[in-house]
Amino acid sequence: MPTFTTSDGTEIHYTDWGTGKPVVLSHGWPLSSDAWAVESKLLADAGYRAIAHDRRGHGRSTNTDRGHDMDTYARDLAELIEHLDLTDLVVIGHSTGGGEVVRYAAQHGKGRVRKVVTAGAVPPIMVQSETNPEGTPIEAFDGIRAGVLADRSQFYKDLAVPFYGFNREGAAVSQGLIDDFQRQGMLAGLAAAYECVKVFSETDFTDDLEALEVPILLAHGSDDQIVPIAAAAEKSIALVSEGTLKVYEGAPHGIAGEYQKALIADILAFIED
């Protein structure tokens, strides 16, 4: 089980599968690198080196209550990439991880990153404000924090339902996916899970998106109930200089089923030289 220790002493767990040009994947809240297991295997099978890490406080990384801000998350990623001496790489991020890779690419990745992919990502900014009326009201994030504190095990089970769109008419509900969402969520430390809510909801990535100098694929489900597309990818595409917006009709926030198959195919097509 490979690990890397950051400059502030935090141990970061990661998987490293395959050979070839590197692809680094960042997961969403409150999950771990396990969320990218299928994509990592298929990328490795396609001739890439797929690396996915557990964010600090999540998964098998150090259960720390320190450093839960986007600058630190991006710095951790930068230090891991430097440690592995990765160049000519693609960074891929889902949800919170989408914000992480955008900030990394904009602030640390010049000369290393060749392409960026986000899926259901939180940029430019999630929380509602006078300048972001399409955003999600702060009360929704307060509710997430309250749920995490009160009974996070049950909260994660409940959250998995809209996460995967299982509350939509005709949805094929997978109890396995619900259980695995809960399992991964419970691996996250309580402090990390709680503090990361502010990070993913209130961080403004506008400057990072505008600073990107490489192509970016912005993938998003039209029925994303967690990170609604109107305040996310539809705004991000207007801020980047070389972006492609791919909308998956009816797809939820969670990457699974036919949506997962389509996304993997689009990622492979986009990152191919």
Q: Residues with catalytic annotation? A: 95, 224, 253
The residues near 133 (Cβ < 8 Å, ≥ 6 apart) are none
Q: Which amino acid is at 12?
A: I
Q: Are 148 and 193 in contact (CB under 8 A)?
A: yes
Q: And the tokens for 89?
A: 């790489």
Residue 26: strand pairing partners: 93
